[in-house]
Amino acid sequence: MTTYRDASGKRLSDYPRPSVAVDTAVLTVPVGGPLSVLQVRDQVDGDWRLPGTFVHEGERLADAVLRSLRDKAGVTGLAPRQLHVFDDPARDDRGWVLSVAHLDVVPASLLSTTIGSAASRVVPVADATGMVHGHDDILRAAVAQFRQDHRGAPDPHGLLPSPFTMSALRGLHEAVLGERLLPDSFRRAMVPMLTATGERAAEGPGKPAALYRPTP
């Protein structure tokens, strides 16, 4: 078999290559809580960071992501999607490491077993700072994408049990966006994308609130 050489006569093995890692920002919103992220504790250094791993020889990126979530965070059944490739040669103090970052958004109930664990935890994104290997940059990009998703659709990732009240939907969007939303303006923006169920639910004193589902 003829060894491949490029126009300059070099083989693929003549070029230096970066290590390839996958790192995943798993975002959620606990009931009544702020936008939060899943972190894992490194077994060697003891610090908290995003779940990630180096890609093994012959392994697909998607398989490496699921392996890291299972082995390091103890979570399965997630469906992360590629977010961005972080390729600054100086981003990782371990060496030249290219990170293919991923994002997943899941209901807090799927991560309940990780809360308070010695190996993994769910913390507000505002507290998840100072992470190694450029993980702060990955988290910022994930949060920006997550917020962009919510600016154009009601609960686009299905974090709320359906059906839900307009108040619950607004509370979710406020947690995600990190800002207060005017009730009337929010309602006008969301109603065209929702289907009223005709049912109502009690939300404390006063008239029961209408229940909605996202319009397919």
Give CA torsion, residues 52, 57, 61, 62, to 10 deg: -90
208-214 long-range contacts, CB within 8 A, separation 24+: 209/165, 209/166, 209/167, 210/165, 210/166, 211/163, 211/164, 211/165, 212/154, 212/163, 212/164, 212/165, 212/166, 212/169, 213/162, 213/163, 213/164, 214/153, 214/154, 214/155, 214/162
What pLDDT score does 114 carry? 59
Please state, in angstroms and rounded to a whole number, the distance separating the CA atoms of residues 84 and 157. 19
pLDDT tens column, 66-110: 999 999 998 988 999 999 999 999 999 889 999 999 999 999 988
What pLDDT score does 31 carry? 87
What pLDDT score does 118 carry? 76
pLDDT tens column, 111-164: 876 555 678 999 999 999 999 999 999 999 999 999 999 998 999 999 999 999
Phi, psi of 109 (to 5 degrees): -65, -30
What pLDDT score does 63 carry? 97
Tokens standing for residue 9: 């006569």
Query: Residue 120 in contact with residue 73, Cβ under 8 Å?
Result: yes
Angle in degrees, 0-180, between the axes of helices 166-177 and 183-190, rounded to the nearest 10 = 100
User: What H or E segment, with its residue span, contains residue 57?
Assistant: none
pLDDT tens column, 13-65: 777 889 999 999 999 999 889 999 999 999 888 899 999 999 999 999 999 99
What pLDDT score does 52 carry? 96
Annotated domain spans of the chain: 15-151, 164-214
Phi, psi of 174 (to 5 degrees): -65, -40
Sign of the alpha-carbon torsion through 43, 44, 45, 50: negative
15-151 carries CATH number 3.90.79.10: yes
What pLDDT score does 208 carry? 87
DSSP readout, 135-193? HHHHHHHHHHHHHHHHHSSSSTT--S-SSEEHHHHHHHHHHHHTS---HHHHHHHHGGG
What pLDDT score does 116 carry? 56
Please state, in angstroms and rounded to a whole number, the distance separating the CA atoms of residues 64 and 23. 9
What pLDDT score does 3 carry? 85
Query: Residue 29 in contact with residue 123, Cβ under 8 Å?
Result: no
Q: Right CATH number for 164-214 from 1.10.10.410, 1.10.10.10, 3.40.50.1100, 3.40.50.300? A: 1.10.10.10
pLDDT confidence bin for 193, thresholds 50/70/90 = very high
Is the pLDDT assigned to residue 206 strictly greater than 80? no
Q: In this structure, are strands 97-105 and 19-28 parallel, antiparallel, or unpaired?
A: parallel
